[in-house]
Amino acid sequence: MSAELERYKLHEFLNELKKKEGRGTELISLYVPAGRPLSEVAEVLRGEYSAASNIKDRTTRHHVLDALTVVMQRLKLFKTTPPNGLVIFAGYVAGSAPGDEKLEVHVLEPPQKLRVWLYRCDSRFYTEILEDMIAVKDAYGLLVLDAGEAAFGILKGRSLEIVKEIESGVPRKHRAGGQSARRFERIVEQLTHEFYKRVGEYANKIFLEHQDLKGILVGGPGPAKEDFLKGDYLHYQLKEKVLGVFDVGYAGEAGIYELVNRAEELLRDVQYVKEREAVNELLYNVSRDTGHAVYGEAEVRRALEMKAVKTLLLSERLDLVRVSYECKSCGYEGRVTVNKGRGVACEKCGSQDLLVIQELPLIDELGKLAEEGGAELVLVSTDTGEGKEFLRIFGGIAAVLRYQI
């Protein structure tokens, strides 16, 4: 499974887990760090079991003891702690009505080496450690300026935020000659110096607070960007992180977006850029009718089965599942794609009396086909304008092809 699909599935799983609540402090979260002997973990859990036996509330005591028993049983399935450690969530999750609680158990190996030990019994599952593992940490500072204005932005994962825009207040060039012109030039120089100081102060305030700042990109339409960087306006730690200086046509918000376009090579691994490039390549092929783009589930599935797909684009908000079933009325075996939670009817006789053999999120199924065919999978967020348009126009399913089919 691709790293992108694994990250997405874990992200969705944690989002669902965070919604679950216990009747009381009954939900167990166990984080076992890499290298910790499971015999030690089992000893700790036996101690917790002994302590839980003294819980006064009968229902809570029963639920906690059941959950601990299940956790200890799951531990016995492992001879040693997995290389990255082990995480187990277990407990009775509250239903829609009192007494509707259902015991759930989830066992997984974290995506990175786990270094902390945690045992917690609470009214919710503790997911923060795993969330931190998959969180996008690398950020890039964006600064565009000219003599009249400046804009500051932060690019992080799928998010591009315009943080601040300021104006310089520096007047335009004075046309009068002689002593008046020289005095005016000195005033302009002083005002420009004050503007650069303000730009530096905002840059220091905005960028220094990001501990995971990987680099800074600077752009602008004229020489102001170079003059600013030559001066002593930017904190020395930030100066060391300037990755590139680019000519762009604007100095405001539009300049920030153009700066990201200009710096594509430097930012190639940033998810925001990868998604936009993939969507733009799709739009290019569709608009020019090159025959190298398909969209819609049927056409994309056909291309995947032919192993003709170079890049598979799927919206993260694709709320569809692939259901395999056998009809109890007529015996027909079929597969159909439906909205999550929607009922399924037999394609042959229309009966809803079906034996569901498998129900798989469409993202998982198509992602597996992409992996088998050597295609790159790009999951497109709806946090951006391009992502929203991709979902609206193409239904969230499209592909760029290696060759025409």
With beta carbons less than 8 A apart as the criterion, state whether 326 and 403 touch: no
User: In this predicted model, what pLDDT tens digit does every residue of 153-206 receive, in sequence order?
Assistant: 999 988 899 999 999 877 766 555 555 777 777 877 888 899 999 999 999 999
Residue closest to 91 by CA, chosen among 119, 118, 121, 117: 121
User: In whole angstroms, how far apart are CA 315 and each of 17, 270, 288, 325?
Assistant: 22, 17, 23, 26
Mean pLDDT of the 374-384 span: 90
Tokens 């056909």 found at: 302
**pLDDT score of 179:** 59
CATH number for the segment(s) 139-175+188-269: 3.30.420.60
**pLDDT score of 342:** 85
276-401 shares the fold of 20-134: no
Residue closest to 311 by CA, chosen among 376, 365, 373: 376
User: In this predicted model, what pLDDT tens digit does every residue of 70-82 receive, in sequence order?
Assistant: 999 999 999 999 9
Domain ranges of the chain: 20-134, 139-175+188-269, 276-401
**pLDDT score of 46:** 96
User: In this predicted model, what pLDDT tens digit does every residue of 311-339 receive, in sequence order?
Assistant: 999 999 998 999 999 999 999 999 999 99
pLDDT level of residue 150 (50, 70, 90 thresholds): very high
Query: CATH fold of 20-134, please?
Result: 3.30.960
Mean pLDDT of the 369-388 span: 89
Residue 31 CA to residue 178 CA, distance in Å, equals 77
**pLDDT score of 174:** 55
Treating both helix axes as pointing N-terminal to C-terminal, what angle do 297-305 and 362-372 enclose, rounded to 10 degrees?
30
Does domain 276-401 sit in CATH 3.30.1330.30?
yes
pLDDT at residue 270 greater than cutoff 90: no
**pLDDT score of 170:** 76
**pLDDT score of 322:** 94
Terminal CA-CA length for the chain: 26
**Chain-wide mean pLDDT for the chain?**
91
Q: Could you give the count of Cα atoms lying within 13 Å of 120 in the half-sphere of its Cβ?
A: 15
**pLDDT score of 74:** 96
Residue 246 CA to residue 71 CA, distance in Å, equals 56
Convert 136-159 to b/e letters by CB count within 10 Å (16 or more is b).
eeebbbbbbbbbbbbbbbbbbbbe
pLDDT level of residue 67 (50, 70, 90 thresholds): very high
Number of H helices, E strands in the chain: 12, 16
Range of weakest confidence among 148-152, 341-345, 368-372, 374-378:
341-345
User: In this predicted model, what pLDDT tens digit does every residue of 101-115 receive, in sequence order?
Assistant: 899 999 999 999 999
User: In this predicted model, what pLDDT tens digit does every residue of 244-268 receive, in sequence order?
Assistant: 999 999 989 999 999 999 998 888 8
Cβ-based neighbours of 314, under 8 Å, separated by 6 or more: 362, 363, 366, 367, 377, 378, 379, 380, 396, 397
